Structure 1
Amino acid sequence: MVYIPPQDKREIENYMDNLQDFINDTSVSQLDPLIKMAIIHHQFESIHPFYDGNGRTGRIINVLYLVINGLLDLPILYLSRYIISNKSEYYRLIQSVRETNDWESWILFILKGVEETAEQTIQLVKGISKLMQNYKFKVRELLKKSYSHELLNNLFSHPYTKIEFVMADVGVTRLTATSYLDKLVQAKLLEKLKSGRYNYYLNIPLINLLMNNSADLRHKDVEQIESVNE
């Protein structure tokens, strides 16, 4: 059975107004935020308000809803991997709610996803923290008195850095920033990659950590899971 979302502009707006009230007005529902998040996700995907990007937007709403309700300090818990790994069940359950009102199975599916994703995210954060401590020791030994915590943070703010990034974050001249980065490359803590006019300094261990954590995510899968009707 192919689901056809609302097509009329006014109908879509009415549904979205109702959903916004459910999200923001606590007097409408006293449900646990995790249960509400599961309901919100289903309703948003069923309304399907945009021509494109409903899946991405729905997953962003998930994590932001947990943040505004105090269940997360930072938006770092994304259900994409879980949904993609279980996309057949995702499709089946989201349609089952529409056909048989089976909210319980849908909510339990999402709660399991939150649990699994939280465990994976905790392991990733621990891995990054351990790697950062390892780099702290090595960079401090390498740069001696020139070491700064701002430089260490710079190396882990993104999987790569640039001379300009170091200049801005550490507050040093271009010559000094270049010297720092070249020393880190020589010590094999960074890998230098030239692209066009620019040099990029890659934190390969950090990239490997992030890539291993998202190994099951492929571009084609992300596109397929955008929404049940995209």
Structure 2
Amino acid sequence: MVIPISGLAMLIICRYISILSTLRGQMSMLTTYQPDMSIEKGLIDMSFRADQPYNDLPPLPPRQDIETKAVLKACIEARAALAELRVSGQLIPNQAVLINSIPLLEAQASSEIENIVTTTDRLFRFANEPGNQADPATKEALRYRTALSEGFQTLTERPLSTSTAIAVCRTIKGVELDIRATPGTALMNEATGSVIYTPPEGQALLRDKLANWERYIHEAEEIDPLIRLAVMHYQFEAIHPFIDGNGRTGRVLNLLYLVDKGLLDIPVLYLSRYIIGNKRAYYDRLLSVTTDEEWEEWILFMLEAVRETANWSTARIRAIRDLLNQTAEQIRHDLPKIYSRELAEIIFVNPYCRIGDLVTAGIAKRQSASVYLKSLTEHGLLQEMKAGRENLYINPPLLALLRERPPARSDR
């Protein structure tokens, strides 16, 4: 349904368009992005109905000014926290220590948002297990980790795109899939069973909206990247391009976007933990953008999520670095004959360490590797656990660090 604009309102809008055209001329040196704003067509979109496909989902950029004073202030704070996280990540020379830990926690939390629940211990135990005998929930969370890792690798070849989203979702779901072609997708209220949102339908329309989403990501350069992050995440959720896996795919894309825009070097922001701690607010604010165009509250929520989880992730990285250095020093002091920095690092890269991990890393041959791990166990640095025909050597202090969760913010 569309509402005609009155004569007086049309004069006001014409004046607005004139000002907007002037501003666009001034911005022409900064960007070639040409937004398609429905207000410029003399129409206001009032077509949303929860039980009908939202084919009139407005294109990006949002119709209203989203860079409010509150948003810009929150953005500065979030950018500062993210910059500190980026620097902290560089303090550990062996980046595998971080890549093998925090992204697994992100995988666990993002899966939990979709009620796919596993534990930190199960994730780390089965992360590198040949054949992987894990339970279904753990396997699905591990596929999220794989999707994030593979997506991160592709950024060296091409920027974030619709193709990236398709590849990520395929990996998460473990099946070949494409943009939705069949109707019938609807989002339900778990408590009442009522439909709260029906995304757009029709593969051609969805690809059109994804093309607009992609242009906004890369061309709306006058908007701060963190504000764009909030906008792109909403729009992807609203488009809901896949039959399943949209939420997790969108959250992987968030982290890849931060790397793509140079705000992080590696995807070590534990963003989903904030969302799981504020799940109701997350979904309420998403829906409020759709029903009432309440962009400011949504963007503020996402900026706070970035700020708080960046601070938490920075603290975890520093704690991991300190623990690694302490462990290395203890091995050097107590077990000088087997000491190497690589030996200390391998039990942080793999908190559930196997003899084969040392062999693969070139630290020792199989028999010596077994002796090394048993020596570390005897000196209280590791715990030994039988797992089928092999032994696992667990790093309890590291796992304890990784189990600590960022606090939920009930006031948001």
Q: Same fold (TM over 0.5)?
A: yes
* Matching residue of 1:102: 294
**Alignment match of 2:368 (pick from 176, 179, 184):** 176
* Matching residue of 1:8: 202
* Matching residue of 1:85: 277
Q: Deviations over 1:93-134 (max 9, x none)?
A: 111111121211111111011111011111111111111111
User: Quick one: distance in 2 between partners of 1:147 and 1:178?
Assistant: 14
**How much does 1:6 deviate?**
1.4
Tell me: CA distance 1:171–1:131, structure 2 relative to 1, closer, same or farther (3 Å).
closer
* SS of corresponding position for 1:170: coil
User: Quick one: distance in 1 between partners of 2:244 and 2:202?
Assistant: 16
Counterpart AA for 1:94: L
Give the CA RMSD over aligned residues.
1.6
* Matching residue of 1:224: none
User: Quick one: distance in 2 between partners of 1:16 and 1:51?
Assistant: 15
8 Å contact from structure 2 (residues 353, 393) kept in 1: yes
* Matching residue of 2:255: 63
* Matching residue of 1:221: none
User: Quick one: distance in 2 between partners of 1:159 and 1:30?
Assistant: 43
**Alignment match of 1:210 (pick from 381, 402, 405):** 402
Q: Deviations over 1:121-180 (max 9, x none)?
A: 111111111111110111112321431111111011122111010112133211110110
Task: Establish whether residue 167 from structure 1 lines up as the match of residue 371 from structure 2.
Answer: no
User: Quick one: distance in 1 between partners of 2:248 and 2:331?
Assistant: 38
Task: Establish whether residue 119 from structure 1 lines up as the match of residue 311 from structure 2.
Answer: yes
**How much does 1:213 deviate?**
3.0
Task: Establish whether residue 155 from structure 1 lines up as the match of residue 347 from structure 2.
Answer: yes
Counterpart AA for 1:22: Y
User: Quick one: distance in 1 between partners of 2:379 and 2:197?
Assistant: 57
* SS of corresponding position for 2:384: strand
8 Å contact from structure 2 (residues 342, 363) kept in 1: no
* Matching residue of 1:19: 213
User: Quick one: distance in 2 between partners of 1:11 and 1:190?
Assistant: 55
**How much does 1:33 deviate?**
0.5
> More helix by proportion, 1 or 2?
1
Counterpart AA for 2:320: I
Gaps of 5+ in 2: 1-49, 51-195
Tell me: CA distance 1:143–1:215, structure 2 relative to 1, closer, same or farther (3 Å).
farther
Tell me: CA distance 1:213–1:86, structure 2 relative to 1, closer, same or farther (3 Å).
closer
User: Quick one: distance in 1 between partners of 2:268 and 2:338?
Assistant: 32
* Matching residue of 1:226: none
8 Å contact from structure 2 (residues 277, 407) kept in 1: no
User: Quick one: distance in 2 between partners of 1:16 and 1:5?
Assistant: 13
* Matching residue of 1:144: 336
8 Å contact from structure 1 (residues 154, 166) kept in 2: yes
User: Quick one: distance in 1 between partners of 2:213 and 2:351?
Assistant: 37
* Matching residue of 2:243: 51
Give the total of aligned pairs. Answer: 214
Bigger radius of gyration among the two: 2
**How much does 1:67 deviate?**
0.9
Give aligned-pair identity as a percent: 43
User: Quick one: distance in 2 between partners of 1:110 and 1:92?
Assistant: 13
8 Å contact from structure 1 (residues 63, 78) kept in 2: no
Counterpart AA for 2:216: F
User: Quick one: distance in 2 between partners of 1:153 and 1:135?
Assistant: 9
